[in-house]
Amino acid sequence: MSADKDLVSVQQARDLVEAAHRAQGEVARFDQAKIDRICEAMARAALREAARLGALAVEETGYGVADDKREKNRFAAEDVWNYFRGLRTVGVVSESKDVVEIASPRGVVAGIIPSTNPTSTAIFKILIAIKSRNAIVLSPHPSAARCINESARVMREAGIKEGLPADAIGCMTTATIEGTETLMKSKQTAVILATGGIGLVRAAYSSGKPAFGVGPGNVPSFIERTADVPKAVQDILTGKCFDNGTICASEQAVVCDAPIEKAVREQFKAQGAHFLSNSEADQLAKIVATPQRSLNPGIVGRSVEVIAKMAGLSVPPGTRCLIADVGGVGREYPLSMEKLSPILAFYVVDGTQQGAERSKEVLQYGGMGHTAGLHTRSREVAIRVGSELPASRITVNTPTTHGAIGFSTALPPSMTLGCGSWGGNVTSDNVSPLHLMDIKRVAFETRPVKSSRPAVTVREISQPAQPVRSDAPSRQPIVSASGGKISRDEIAEIVDRFLAGRRPEELEQSLPSPPPPRPIETEAGSMYSGPSSGVREPRLTRTDNGERSGRQDPTSVRVTSPASNGRSVVDFVSEDDVRRAIQKGEKIYINAKTIITPAARDIGEPAEIFAKT
């Protein structure tokens, strides 16, 4: 039966991702207005169904509080959408004189959805995926498959009415590890949004695809001696008890500055918390942690009454939270781990430095990179402590649960919180539509790059030929009539043929007087230099005794060779050759090996001087 379920899950993942890939091609062509209409419709539909979906999640998973889940659904549908409504995700999204940024969707998003926050996470991931013109396929936690599929259905139907392809939102109904791996590793999957246990997140990172994962949130909350104690305690209990502590950013440990310890304890008792004795704490620890020192899933998201009954404890009626004094952090102290339930560890420290050190220890034991809380009246203390903690979010004077997700702070609202390199994640951001787009940047030159071979301008090309210096740099590469580059060996061969076939007196007639002797450069590029055509005039060289030599200077030579049709094919054409041909009304016959200087080509081609043989 298990093997059959795996096969069904694998095939379902393949079918959904293929269909989503086709649908995404259509979504990618939508303009901004259409994308926003679709997202608006989906957000409104999720908001209308927030209470029903929240109740369905509690009914199916047994985790949390229905009304709190309704509020999380509302947050994901309303607050998230309101924050990102105006974000441009189509075409040019930012522009300056020097850089233009253009948004491009990623493709198909694989959305891994947990059981602790199933419906709100599904709503959130669908919204940010479609807003950034992607398609999405959800892999639900098996214990929450029904409520997650219902959330996807609600949003899909609302989107279809505004033109969204039905397959742009997919959700597996049979989700197994094998099926989820198939989804993540599919060649059509572009990026993974992985929210869930550490094993699942690691699988996402090992899939070979870009992945935005999260990590566990063993969140410390430090109450520094200048804090407003009643408010600090109120905030901690508000965050810890919200949805029975199922949000990873909820407080897990209170770190109390010694001078205010008594006041803090009194406030916790006054506001509904119950401090356990050492023996009671030991009883609680036995049901919180497994023998392998992992969290017992049976207590996750459960109420104080249920947990107390499981541990055999008697607590006052109306108790909101259980608090235990813990002697340290680590495997020997089970209550120092992330508990995802209304249970807090309690530590006492003396001073800011000790508070920061203890908070760091808590984070290092299963919460690296996630969130930390701080309650203080000193902005300087907040910044100093925050700079020391390995956490991506340090919330100040607010519940960490609500502050980290952007509900009570100015952080981007998100149900997927990156933990940075501390937690093995690719980002420390609150994940948003921005993370599901590739940004192309069109960048214009702001600082010219010096070149040893400057470009030839139109003005230079149009100027008449000028005397050429032997040390002038080459302007253009030498090319043949067919457009290919000519090697130095080929040039040498042409020059040799010229020297063998031309007589000194022929060159004497073309020159008014012989120039002074110049060395013959060996670099092919330096043979064609000068301010105008880039071509040297042909010339003779002199011998040491001053007499004219029969050896010609191999520059701007015109060599002829017979063609099959009897025409004389020219092997080299200079600007002067073209001008003479224009004056005489003649054609210059060339073939694929003929070398034509750039200036000669610019003048000759418009005049239709060249005839190929």
Q: Could you list the active site residues?
A: 248
The span from the CA of 220 to the CA of 218, in Å, is 7
E strand or H helix at 190: strand 189-194
180 in Cβ contact with 384 (< 8 Å)? no
Q: What DSSP letter does each residue of 232-280 carry, written as one string?
A: HHHHHHHHHHGGGG-STTSEEEEEEEGGGHHHHHHHHHHTTEEEPPHHH
Residues 464, 468, 474, 477, CA torsion sign: positive
Contacts of 360 by beta carbon, 8 Å cutoff, 6+ apart: 388, 389, 390
Cα 315 vs. chain centroid, distance in angstroms?
49
The radius of gyration computed from the CA coordinates of the chain, to the nearest angstrom, equals: 39
Spatial CA neighbour of 208 closest among 180, 194, 187: 187
Dump strand ranges (E) for 329-420.
Answer: 343-349, 369-375, 391-396
Q: What DSSP letter does each residue of 471-495 carry, written as one string?
A: TPPB-S--EETTS-B--HHHHHHHH
Q: What would you measure as the largest C-alpha separation in the chain, in angstroms? A: 123
The span from the CA of 505 to the CA of 509, in Å, is 6
What is each CA distance from 86 to 26, 39, 47, 82, 206, in whole angstroms? 22, 12, 19, 8, 35
For residue 206, give both structure tokens: 């090992």
Q: Decide: helix, strand or coil at residue 193.
A: strand
The span from the CA of 215 to the CA of 392, in Å, is 11
Q: Decide: helix, strand or coil at residue 574.
A: coil
The span from the CA of 572 to the CA of 561, in Å, is 11
Residues 131, 132, 138, 144, CA torsion sign: negative
Q: What are phi and psi of 268, to 5 degrees?
A: -60, -45
The span from the CA of 139 to the CA of 411, in Å, is 27
Contacts 24+ apart (CB under 8 A), 49-54: 49/73, 49/151, 49/154, 50/74, 50/77, 53/119, 53/123, 53/147, 53/150, 53/151, 53/154, 54/119
Give bridge partners of residue 561 from the DSSP assignment. 569
Q: Decide: helix, strand or coil at residue 458.
A: helix
